[in-house]
Amino acid sequence: MEINDIIKPENLVYEKPRLMNENPMHYCPGCSHGVIHKLIAEVIAEMGMEDKTIGISPVGCAVFAYNYLDIDWIEAAHGRAPAIATAVKRLNPSKMVFTYQGDGDLAAIGTAETIHAANRGENIVIVFVNNAIYGMTGGQMAPTTLEGMPTATCPYGRNIALNGYPLKIGDLLAQLEGTCLVTRQSVQTAAAVRKAKKMLRKAFENSMAGKGTSIVEFVSTCSSGWKMTPEKANKWMEENMIPFYPLGDLKNKE
């Protein structure tokens, strides 16, 4: 069989998303970011919005999305991505605008920007990667860190009396009038990946239909920050993170 026969459309099982460039990924083994990047790239291409999409990435591991997805990007100051996205979408309503943020960025440094953009119902998508830790800066405790979960700044585990409760920011955002979709997904299995892609597509379609703010939260792993192998990190996430941050739609306005 000739190589040209193998790559005929009818023989093609999978191909790399067109919007993902050739840069080698730097993310740690087992990191959820790479899969989420792939899904975003696929959805944008399938919607035919390659030249009309603008991503906003802040500080943290999320910032490197510009290195892998071949769309227009703006880098925001830490936590300020929803504010920048608000301006971009209002000035360019025909563009598809989304933010790509981690939990320390979205739920700590950028809590005000996140809540007020969602409360105003800005027609943007917020992609929220929740791995319950500050992954890039040394593994410190984040607002989403679970009770008893050790980090660099709470090595004996999060203490509620000292550190307060883990913040379910998705649940808070679902209560706001301006949000039309708040969904919590993951990407550790093939079935989860398929569901996550479906909800990403709905979120982007909502933004272009002017329905308000859509939030797609990804319960994710950080094998380096958690000091685990990728396999153990996935298992720990399923046994600890997902029971506290259950998957599914928190709000889904039709």
Give the tens place of pLDDT for each residue, 150-203. Answer: 999 999 999 999 999 999 999 999 999 999 999 999 999 999 999 999 999 999
Among 17-21, 81-85, 86-90, the range scoring the smallest mean pLDDT is 17-21
Q: Return the exposure string of 123-136: e unless at least 16 CB atoms fall within 10 Å of the residue's CB, then b.
A: bbbbbbbbbbbbbb
Mean pLDDT of the chain: 93
Q: Name residue, tokens 């005929």.
A: 8
Query: Mind listing the pLDDT tens digit for each residue in 41-75?
Result: 999 999 999 999 999 999 888 888 999 999 999 99
70-76 own/partner pairs: CB under 8 Å, 24+ apart:
70/19, 70/20, 70/21, 71/19, 71/44
Q: Can you give the pLDDT at residue 6? A: 59
Q: Name residue, tokens 């939260």.
A: 217
Cα–Cα distance between 216 and 138 in angstroms, integer? Answer: 25
Helices (H), 71-189: 81-91, 103-104, 111-120, 160-163, 169-174
pLDDT band at 229 (very low <50, low <70, confident <90, very high): very high
Look up the pTM and report it: 0.93
Mean pLDDT of 115-123: 98
pLDDT at 84 over 70: yes
Cα–Cα distance between 160 and 162 in angstroms, integer? Answer: 5
pLDDT band at 5 (very low <50, low <70, confident <90, very high): low
Q: Can you give the pLDDT at residue 142? A: 94
Q: Which two tokens stand for residue 151?
A: 């980090």
Task: Give the chain's length.
Answer: 254
Q: How many CA atoms lie within 13 A of 46 on its CB side?
A: 14
